[in-house]
Structure 1
Amino acid sequence: MLFSGSLFMTSGSAQAATVTTSASSKANAVIATGKRYMGVPYKFGAKTGNTSSFDCSSFTQFIYRQNGVSIPRTSRQQSKVGTFVPRSQLKPGDLVFFYSPVHHVAVYIGDGKILHTYGKGGVKISNLNSGWWSDHYNSARRVL
């Protein structure tokens, strides 16, 4: 009986590790896709699927969709999908939201950095943990 329990635990642990690895791999793929568009101009209301310009939510929707994950179009809609994540538990691939009410979204890429697009310079990486982005942080959601 103890032997069977050990096999069950090992099997369950292996399954949990596979799920974690899968989410981590998917997050890495989403981030890599986003980084390919560094510098692409920001344009409010950019059409979904357009890669010559993005707004914040068309960017996140596009890079997730390129990796098989469907999320809504607007930042406010995106802030309601997946599961809530406390700021202290952010993982790469989490969606991070700003302002109240929400009207900006970014992708957490690890080490206190976010990948997003806004204003001059378009798609870029910014520091979440200092200055403006830290002050205007609202919430985060895990969709992977």
Structure 2
Amino acid sequence: MALTRLGDPYSQLKAGQDNFTDCSYLVQRVYRQFGINLPRTAAEQARFSVENDLTVSAVDMVPGDLVFWSYERNGRFMDITHVGIYAGDGKVVDASSTRGQVVYRNLFDWERQVMFGRPHFANGK
């Protein structure tokens, strides 16, 4: 499902309007299609994963898992600033602010990855 959003334009302010998205809205939208309601921000999606015991290690990731990054101290949960959907084979789909759109690319910034979630098990799926 995330791959169908490739090329959608990035905008935090317009996320949810037309095809505009940001990283957490992309995750929320994709998961909603599977009947899983996630919070709106990346930090709150991470908190949801932790509070519901839906975290995994990097080596155990499967397609659909979430990757969370922290690029700066921001006072949010674990200082999380970005989220992407793991696509398997070392790839991720994310709404990239620097590229201005939803992209499919190699996992990046390993040293900034702070946690991994598996909320697609939230409903026993």
Normalising by structure 1, report the TM-score: 0.69
* Greater RCO structure (CA 8 Å; 6+ sep): 2
**3-state secondary structure, aligned to 1:79:** helix
Question: Residue 79 of structure 1 aligns with which residue?
Answer: 46
Task: Using the TM superposition, give the Cα deviation of residue 139 of structure 1 relative to its aligned residue in structure 2, in angstroms.
Answer: 0.7
Counterpart selection for 1:67 from 28, 34, 49:
34
Partner of 1:126: 105
Q: Which is richer in helix? A: 1
Q: Does 1:104 align with 2:82?
A: yes
Deviations for 1:8-65, whole angstroms, at most 9, x for unmatched residues?
A: xxxxxxxxxxxxxxxxxxxxxxxxx2111111111023344x3421010011001110
Show structure 1 runs of 4+ deviating over 4 A.
Answer: none
Over the residues paired in the alignment, what is the CA RMSD in angstroms? Answer: 1.5
Query: Given that residues 127 and 133 in structure 1 are in contact (C-alpha distance below 8 angstroms), is that contact kept between their aligned partners in structure 2?
Result: no
Letter in 2 for 1:69: I
Task: Report the number of matched residues.
Answer: 108
Structure 2: gaps (5+ residues): 71-77, 121-125
- Distance in 1 between residues matched to 2:118 and 2:13, nearest whole Å: 24
Aligned-residue offset at 1:143 = 0.8
The one-letter code of the counterpart of 1:85 is V
Give the structure 2 partner of residue 37 of structure 1: 5
Percent of aligned positions that are identical:
31
